Amino acid sequence: MPRIIVTSALPYAEGVPHLGNFVGSILPADVYYKYLFMKGADAIYICGSDQHGTPIEVQAMKKGISPKELADAVHEQIKESAEKFGCTFTYYGKTDSEKNKEIVYEIFDALDKNGFIKQVEDVQPYCNVDKRFLADRFIEGICPHCKAEGARGDQCDNCGNLLNPSELINAHCVICGSTDIEFKKTANLALDLKRLEPDIKEFVERNKDNNWSKNAVNKTLSYISQGLKPRDITRDISWGFKVNKKGFEEKRFYVWFDAVIGYIGITSEWTPRWKDYWMNNDTRLIQFMGKDNIEFHTMMWPGILIGSSMGFALPHTIKAYEYLNANGVKFSKSRGIGLNVQNALDIMPADYWRFALMHLLPETSDTEFSIASFIEIVNKIMNDKVGNLVHRVLTITKNNYTLLENKDADAQIVEKINVLIKNYVSNFEQVNMRDALQSLVKLAELGNEIMSTKEPWKMLKNADEKSATEFSSLMNGLLNIVYALGIMLYPFTPNASKKILSYFGGGESTIRGMMGRIAERPALRIDIPITTIFNKVSETELKKMEKYSGSKS
Domains and CATH numbers, the chain: 3-116+194-230+251-322 (3.40.50.620), 120-185 (2.170.220.10), 376-517 (1.10.730.10)
Indicate the average pLDDT of the chain.
93
Q: Kindly report which listed range (114-128, 129-143, 374-388, 456-470) carries the lowest average pLDDT score.
A: 456-470
β 117-127/181-191 pair status:
antiparallel
**Confidence band, pLDDT 50/70/90 cuts, at residue 552:** very low
Give CA–CA dist 284/282, Å, rounded.
Answer: 7
Contacts of 267 (CB under 8 A, 6+ apart): 5, 44, 46, 91, 274, 277, 278
Residue 335 has pLDDT above 60, yes or no: no
Average pLDDT for 497-521: 89
**Confidence band, pLDDT 50/70/90 cuts, at residue 553:** very low
Average pLDDT for 101-116: 98
Average pLDDT for 155-179: 87
Helix ranges (DSSP H) in 406-490: 411-429, 433-454, 456-459, 465-488
Residue 136 has pLDDT above 80, yes or no: no
Residue 332 has pLDDT above 70, yes or no: no
Average pLDDT for 65-94: 97
> What confidence score (pLDDT) does residue 225 get?
96
Residue 301 has pLDDT above 60, yes or no: yes
Residue 430 has pLDDT above 50, yes or no: yes
Contacts of 252 (CB under 8 A, 6+ apart): 52, 234, 235, 237, 238, 239, 240, 241, 242, 243
Average pLDDT for 438-462: 93
Quote the DSSP letter at residue 381: I
305 closest CA partner among 245, 256, 265, 260: 260
Residue 551 has pLDDT above 60, yes or no: no
Q: What share of the chain is helix, strand, coil (3-state, %, to 5)?
A: 50, 15, 35
> What confidence score (pLDDT) does residue 262 get?
98
Residue 110 has pLDDT above 80, yes or no: yes
Residue 507 has pLDDT above 90, yes or no: no
Average pLDDT for 90-109: 98
> What confidence score (pLDDT) does residue 62 get?
84
Give CA–CA dist 360/362, Å, rounded.
Answer: 6
Residue 160 has pLDDT above 80, yes or no: no
Average pLDDT for 24-47: 97
Give CA–CA dist 148/159, Å, rounded.
Answer: 8
Residue 334 has pLDDT above 60, yes or no: no
Select, from the ranges 236-245, 414-423, 451-460, the one with the highest average predicted confidence (pLDDT): 414-423
**Confidence band, pLDDT 50/70/90 cuts, at residue 337:** low
φ/ψ (deg, to 5) at 275:
-65, -25
Chain segment 143-155, per-residue pLDDT in tens:
999 999 989 888 8
> What confidence score (pLDDT) does residue 333 get?
58
% of the chain at pLDDT higher than 90: 78
Residue 550 has pLDDT above 70, yes or no: no
Give bridge partners of residue 45 from the DSSP assignment: 6
320 closest CA partner among 367, 288, 298, 297: 288
* Residue 449: Cβ within 10 Å count: 11
Select, from the ranges 116-120, 138-142, 525-529, the one with the highest average predicted confidence (pLDDT): 116-120
- The radius of gyration of the chain from alpha carbons, rounded to an integer in Å, stands at 26
> What confidence score (pLDDT) does residue 392 get?
97
Quote the DSSP letter at residue 327: S
Question: String of b and e for 207-216 (b: at least 16 CB within 10 Å)?
Answer: bbeeebbebb
Give bridge partners of residue 50 from the DSSP assignment: 12
Query: pTM score, two decimals?
Result: 0.93
Chain segment 235-292, per-residue pLDDT in tens:
988 899 999 999 999 999 999 999 999 999 999 999 999 999 999 999 999 999 999 9
